[in-house]
């Protein structure tokens, strides 16, 4: 499997020669992407909780999905319909690895009602982040 360095992530020109500044130096620090699918009515509470611990950047989308109950049956005009995809909200954010546990705790606590369908959180490793305006890289770009 290719390493992050093979892919040119976090490369530094200091290897084998004079040390030259690289815009993405320092980006070998691991960043995590947290993707949470939550109940739409919990979005404001989740946003407030994340703001209170200093999380700035995030992406929100309206999505549809189902978990292991595969949606639920709904009655409409006396007919039973199988509503297999329910409206959910997806919250995505990239954070430093060191902040990840705190963000996960905060997010889950704010999104939890204890009932089925509360949602799910997935965590990924992120290879690079770039602030387009000034080419900040890695954690500096978050």
Residues numbered 61-100 forming contacts with Mg ion, rule: CB under 5 A: 67, 69
Asked if 1 and 19 count as a contact pair (C-beta separation under 8 A), the reply is no
**Residues 6 or more apart whose Cβ sits within 8 Å of residue 114:** none
Stretch that binds ligand ATP, among 12-20, 22-30, 72-80, 110-118 (CB under 6 A): 110-118
Does 117 bind ligand ATP (CB under 6 A)? Our answer is yes
Q: What would the x/- binding string for ligand ATP be over residues 20 to 39, using CB under 6 A?
A: -----------------x--
**Quick one: what does residue 47 bind among ligand ATP, Mg ion, none, with the CB cut-off 5 to 8 Å set by partner type?**
none
Question: Quick one: how far is CA 30 from the chain centroid?
Answer: 14
Does 1 bind ligand ATP (CB under 6 A)? Our answer is no
Q: How many DSSP H helices and E strands does the chain contain? A: 2, 8
- CA–CA distance, 89 with 38 (Å, rounded to integer): 5
Query: Where on the chain is the footprint of ligand ATP (CB under 6 A)?
Result: 37, 65-69, 86, 88, 116-120
């Amino acid at each position: 499997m290719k390493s992050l360095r093979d892919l040119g992530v976090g490369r530094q020109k200091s290897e084998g020669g004079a040390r030259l500044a690289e815009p993405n130096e320092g980006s070998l620090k691991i960043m995590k992407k947290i993707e949470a699918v939550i109940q739409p009515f919990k979005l404001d509470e989740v946003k407030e909780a994340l703001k209170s611990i200093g999380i700035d950047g995030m992406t929100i989308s309206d999505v549809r999905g189902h978990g292991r109950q595969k949606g639920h049956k709904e009655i409409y005009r006396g007919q039973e319909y199988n509503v297999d995809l329910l409206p959910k909200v997806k919250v995505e954010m990239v954070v430093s690895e060191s902040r990840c546990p705190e963000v996960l705790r905060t997010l889950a606590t704010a999104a939890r009602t204890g009932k089925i369908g509360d949602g799910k959180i997935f965590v990924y490793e992120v290879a690079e982040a770039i602030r387009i305006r000034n080419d900040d890289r890695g954690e500096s770009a978050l």
